[in-house]
Structure 1
Amino acid sequence: MVIPVKSSTKEKIVAPVKEESTGHEKEMPTQKKLTPYQGKRRAFGHFYCEECDKEWTSANSWANCYQICRDCDTCVYPYKQLKLQKGDGDKKKRKPHRTDLCQRCIETHSCCWLMDWPRKKS
């Protein structure tokens, strides 16, 4: 199954142009920044699908990772990401994480929020 990848920002994603090399430079792998947050931990992401005009939030948002819109199956990157805040402790309010719609879960074949451990000690 091929899923079209769309960024929720207005900018177009363009493949980098390869410059002539003199052979003396050390090539550094560079990854395109597809999301506002570039850290290693989860963030609270705000998503907007331009295809079907749907908006959602997720506490399982990662740097350079999309989530699939559950209405139209389009890959959507978050347009805004914030540092996670401690909740009120009521885990009954938490919705189950849809691992079938999360790029990180799909690629690692496991639930992404379990990979966010160990937590830093306060």
Structure 2
Amino acid sequence: MSHPLRIAIADDEAEIRDYFQKVLERLGHDVVAAVDNGADLVTACNSLLPDLIITDVRMPQLDGDQAVREIWKCHRIPAILISAYNPPVDPAGDAPTWSYLNKPVRRTDLEAAILAAVPD
């Protein structure tokens, strides 16, 4: 990747948010928002317009896949969904497209997913 990305992350577990923040900064990216629920993710993305979203699927107030669908109504921001559970149903038609990673997420898998989601 030739330039740093502005990334919004969402996970209801503080340790996971901290992990992503550290890994993403080591990869040269800027974390512009780190929130613990889907509703706050929607608000942050609508105001900050990040280059990429990385979100847990199951969260309070609004699940990550639902938050991405809401964001996509106005902004086509690529997303990577993460979860310890089965992936959500892939979107169809005009719905968002996303990558999916199983928890625990390894740095190499995250780096590959970022490159696939936001190619140069």
TM-score category of the 2 structures, normalised to the smaller one: under 0.3
Larger radius of gyration: 1
**TM-score, normalisation: structure 1:** 0.25
**Greater per-residue helix proportion:** 2
